[in-house]
Structure 1
Amino acid sequence: MKLLLIHTGGTIGMAETPDGLAPRKGLVEDAITVRLPDGAELVADVFDPLLDSADVGPSHWNRMLETIRRHPGTPVIITHGTDTMAFTGAALSQALAGENRRVILCGSMLPLGQKGDAEGNLDLAIRAASAQGPGVFLAFAGKLLPAAGLVKHHSHEGDAFRSQPQAALGVPQRRTFIDRKLAILTLSPGLPAASLKAILETLDGAVLRIFGAGTAMNDGQLLKVIADAVAGGKRLRAISQCEAGGLEPGAYAAGAGLWGTGIENGGTETPEAALIHLWLN
């Protein structure tokens, strides 16, 4: 058995220093090596410098994809910080759709060696990587979660993640991430139309978090900003501000104006999944 490790950084690979927790090279690689079954071979690609997950973005997703594709047929474990784990989960799930790969994401709320969750999460990740069947998953808190719709719902507890069901993934038109200016924006009561217009002018597209099952303020100026952006070629994709349930256009009259702008329906997509959809399609 061969196992590919891509270690990006994050809490799991940190250790105590006089200045507080900091990345320690070799910590994750050694922890996995001693856990591998006899005869198994570890191939490691370690980011240098190791990254806080807050700094992970499209160029790093491309590097992960490049490394995965250089090792066809090899199961993969990616160790990663928890703060942007949902973005990376959505990115790899969508970009690798149809490629028959098995990828296990893994992180922790406490570092290795601190009697926390890191060792258990790594053990689960190794078992999951050796199992059959394609897909991208997160090994965390004793659970194997589909990574396409991850939600980090708690900032401190060990059981920090949930996974929201997502629509079946087709094969994307673009399998790497190009330079697009995208953002996740949130409708909130009293949002000035001029503010939304100003930020949309700097973007190629955006995910717009709207209310409930698909409503928005009945503000003619705001709706015109959205309609003008769509007419001008900007990709705008709507999702619900609710964690679960998704959108149902037409369910409420209060959403009629919004859906008349031509905005896309993100359905049950999480914010992270909707953003990746705009990047890849």
Structure 2
Amino acid sequence: MARILVVHTGGTIGMAPGPEGLRPAAGLVEAALQALAPEALTVEVLAFDPLVDSADIGPADWNRITDAVADWQGDGVLVTHGTDTMAFTGAALSAALAGIAMPVVLCGSMTPLGMGGDAEANLALALQAVQGGQAGVWLAFAGRLMPASGLVKHHASEADAFRVVPQQSDPGPFRPRHFADLRLAILTLTPGLPASALAAMLAELDGAVLRVFGAGTMMGDPAMAAVLTAAVARGCALRAVSQCEAGGLAEGAYAAGEALWRAGVGNGGAETAEVALVRLWLALSDQRAGRG
């Protein structure tokens, strides 16, 4: 008999209408699991208390899920989660649990359980995938099982809300990794952004992912280049990714990008912004723990 753990964090799949809109409601996912799970499957549920809208999910929650997965002695883990930050959590768990020998399947929905939408089908697909399925971290959504690293939520309301930008796999062997208490962010370069504004943001951060133009370019303002150089010099770790969904960065392709690399900004290549943030966060966390 297969044994799986369900980590229920919250999200639309387990919400009910309230006076101010949808909000997490206890017991909905548990009831659906009881109805959908086959008799040959033993399901243990670990529910966050209180349940969390995915807008509030962060590194402490990624650590909590990672620990629950690492401690589980069964056949797999299903994680119910809201869709708004699914791409971040997918990237986080894919990196933190790299090399894991059992399936870890994320699941969410665009419509809550019991409202005639996609929730029941997504949960049924996740249950199927977690029972003796392929090891690794996955998303079960809209009839497809997708690698959880490189997720892009491309639609705010349609049931088929996700696609995947293929990412280089994180190396094993399996050793759970954790996210330290750091100040990191994704910052987007835009035409007209004042160098002083970028400097002010970087001054508050331990590191940042910079979403730059095209194959790796930025504005030619010398003050902007000076801000990046100064930030790296004081120990602020910077990593660049493209604002384009696919294609990645090509260091040296354009003179307009030379200031990035000269300043010491790391090249994120074809990483999505979420994957770049997670990898930067874990690299800095490892350094802080003396594993860098």
TM-score, normalisation: structure 1: 0.96
Q: CA deviation at 1:102?
A: 1.3
- Hey, what does 1:168 align to over in structure 2? 169
What residue identity is the alignment partner of 2:88? F
- Hey, what does 1:199 align to over in structure 2? 201
What residue identity is the alignment partner of 1:143? R
RMSD: 1.5
Between 58-67 and 18-27, report the one with greater CA deviation.
Answer: 18-27
1:177 is matched with which residue: 176, 179, 183? 179
| Contact 1:249 1:255 (8 Å CA) reproduced | yes
What residue identity is the alignment partner of 2:275? A
Q: How many residues align?
A: 281
- Hey, what does 1:117 align to over in structure 2? 118
1:236 is matched with which residue: 235, 238, 242? 238
- Hey, what does 1:10 align to over in structure 2? 11
CA distance in 1, matches of 2:149, 2:181: 22
Q: CA deviation at 1:99?
A: 2.6
2:267 is matched with which residue: 262, 265, 268? 265
What residue identity is the alignment partner of 1:243? E
What residue identity is the alignment partner of 1:47? F
**Aligned in 2, Cα 1:196/1:44: closer, same or farther, shift over 3 Å?**
same
1:236 counterpart SS class: strand
- Hey, what does 1:132 align to over in structure 2? 133
1:57 aligns with 2:58: yes
2:257 is matched with which residue: 252, 255, 258? 255
CA distance in 1, matches of 2:175, 2:73: 20
1:48 counterpart SS class: coil
The C-alpha deviation readout for 1:96-118, integer Å capped at 9, x for no partner, is 01232311100000001111000
1:107 aligns with 2:105: no
What residue identity is the alignment partner of 1:275? L
2:166 counterpart SS class: coil
The C-alpha deviation readout for 1:126-155, integer Å capped at 9, x for no partner, is 111114321111111111111110110111
CA distance in 2, matches of 1:173, 1:15: 37
1:36 aligns with 2:15: no
CA distance in 1, matches of 2:226, 2:180: 29
Between 216-225 and 67-76, report the one with greater CA deviation.
Answer: 67-76
The C-alpha deviation readout for 1:220-240, integer Å capped at 9, x for no partner, is 110111011112211100000
CA distance in 2, matches of 1:35, 1:88: 25
Q: CA deviation at 1:174?
A: 7.4
Q: CA deviation at 1:73?
A: 4.5
What residue identity is the alignment partner of 2:245? E
Q: CA deviation at 1:93?
A: 0.2
What residue identity is the alignment partner of 2:230? D
- Hey, what does 1:24 align to over in structure 2? 25
What residue identity is the alignment partner of 1:244? A
What residue identity is the alignment partner of 2:55? A
Q: CA deviation at 1:22?
A: 2.7
Q: CA deviation at 1:72?
A: 3.2
Unaligned runs of 5+ in 2: 284-292
| Contact 1:213 1:240 (8 Å CA) reproduced | yes
| Contact 1:173 1:280 (8 Å CA) reproduced | no
**Aligned in 2, Cα 1:244/1:110: closer, same or farther, shift over 3 Å?**
same
| Contact 2:75 2:132 (8 Å CA) reproduced | no
| Contact 2:208 2:277 (8 Å CA) reproduced | yes
